[in-house]
Structure 1
């Protein structure tokens, strides 16, 4: 254990949260904008997409609900508020924007029976029907895949634990545009807000769900 990890553990951070009895997989914003070379938001890798696709396939095979989020704005971005003004690249998700960058990648695209949540802000909970959907299905554990680790994944994990759901972030199935914010946020999420598990461990739990 590193000196930093020891310091956090000594302060009481990072106590484990148990996997519940009723999980769902949440795929956050895995759209073309992040995986198309040359796009403004391009991550530079598709490794997290490939991992998320394996998680989704496992979940569907085990009968575990899959929820997919996407971002969409009015043509003028009026429904994006200050967030839309702060992050200029969000214009690619406005109605009528060229390039189809808001399309969910085919590897994780929703299938019949999946739930699609359209959002305008970082958290998949904020201003959406997600909490009501989870409550109605008595979900208690939320497996998080998606992008970006420091943005929408983090915001969703914080809102999940605040709303009483156990957030399980799949290490290989989340990504960011740089390893520094990616690793820093995984460390902080594991310390305070979520469990950060390997893909292999998540697959094992999904197949037992």
Structure 2
């Protein structure tokens, strides 16, 4: 059984809020921390919401999935499907020890074998066969070594709405690459997680300053509600 991560107590959270508030002012005076906003043609990208990360008992498991992240993603899925917004899932999976390269030197990647329950998408946020897209990736970023950028451009997508885990790795690297690939990116605050609570807070702040917009779930849902239903190209 994995050890539970220590939650942020009120004193720590208050201290972080104070630090981030001051640092946000520094970025603002230097021309950073600008809002990229929403575009007109979004896609929903659910990053590594597979059992190894979302269910207890795995070495990759993250906290706060049942109480916050899964319910939030369920609401996003319903809103996106209502407007026929493209929905993309990623999982990280390997077909052999050799396929993993050097990753096992630092992490228990042998837990992520292709075809096992660990790498299957959590059935509480199910993928709709024949409609949604599943990308099996080998690296933290959903763009690295995959066709994600190509299908987004082919579909005329200008905005990525991101959920998933982990903030310090796969979410972060994907969001950084998304900006480099030319996409507006929005992280849904209530729908991302990590094994270490402090990693969530720091990365949300840092990415919001430099790479994307971090927005609350209600604002993202309101944006989706105002969209005209997608028409296939």
Question: TM-score, normalization: structure 2?
Answer: 0.84
Larger Rg belongs to: 2
Q: Distance in 1 between matches of 2:132 and 2:60?
A: 26
For 1:145, which of 163, 179, 200 is the aligned residue?
Answer: 163
Among 53, 57, 68, the residue aligned to 1:34: 53
The alpha-carbon deviation at position 96 of structure 1 amounts to: 6.3
| Residue 89 (structure 2) aligns with | 68
In the alignment, which of 51, 69, 76 is matched to residue 55 of structure 1?
76
Task: Please state how far the C-alpha of 1:193 moved relative to its aligned partner.
Answer: 0.4
Q: Determine helix, strand or coil for the equivalent of 1:150.
A: helix
The structure 2 residue matched to 1:102, chosen from 119, 134, 145, is: 119
Q: Report whether the alignment pairs 1:79 with 2:96.
A: no
Render the CA deviation track for 1:140-176: whole Å, top value 9, x for unaligned.
0000000001110010000101000001000001001
By how many angstroms is 1:89 displaced?
2.1
CA distance in 1, matches of 2:115, 2:194: 26
Match of 1:168 in 2: 186
Q: What is the distance in 2 between the residues matched to 1:205 and 1:55?
A: 11
Alignment of 1:171-186 (within 5 A): 171-186=189-204
- State how far apart, in whole Å, the 1-side matches of 2:207 and 2:121 are: 25
Q: Would you say the 8 A contact 2:104–2:110 is kept in 1?
A: no
Deviates more, 1:171-180 or 1:107-116: 107-116
Contact 1:80/1:121 (<8 A) preserved:
no
The answer on whether the counterparts of 2:162 and 2:185 sit within 8 Å (CA) in structure 1 is: yes
Task: State the TM-score, normalized to the length of structure 1.
Answer: 0.93
Q: Tell me the number of residue pairs that the alignment of Structure 1 and Structure 2 aligns.
A: 205
Aligned residues: CA RMSD: 1.5
Cα deviation for residue 88 of structure 1 reads 2.4
For the residue of structure 1 that corresponds to 2:151, the secondary structure is helix
